[in-house]
Amino acid sequence: MELRPDDLPTAMVSGARIRGGERKAERDHERENRHRAASGLPSLEEERAAAAREEAHVRREREKSVASRNRRQRKNVQLAKR
């Protein structure tokens, strides 16, 4: 008896679980976004974008702080040489 993919349960067919998992993940994502929209919350994409903007802002502030500290150190060294 030869088993063909049509005869096997979906989970046993090569690669079917991956495709099914991708579909489920997409469904869950869409469901979560609908739930958030109904609750008045930002979508998952908007939330990720806001987190990225905040991270970029923190990184810029940190870089400005380092640059400021470096300027102060150079200034102090120049004053000490006088």
> pTM higher than 0.85, yes or no?
no
> What pLDDT sits at residue 79?
62
> What pLDDT sits at residue 21?
81
**Contact between 37 and 43 (Cβ < 8 Å):** yes
Q: What pLDDT, in 10s, does the model give residues 3-57?
A: 565 565 555 555 555 577 889 999 999 999 999 999 999 999 999 999 999 999 9
Where do the domains of the chain lie?
A: 9-41, 49-82
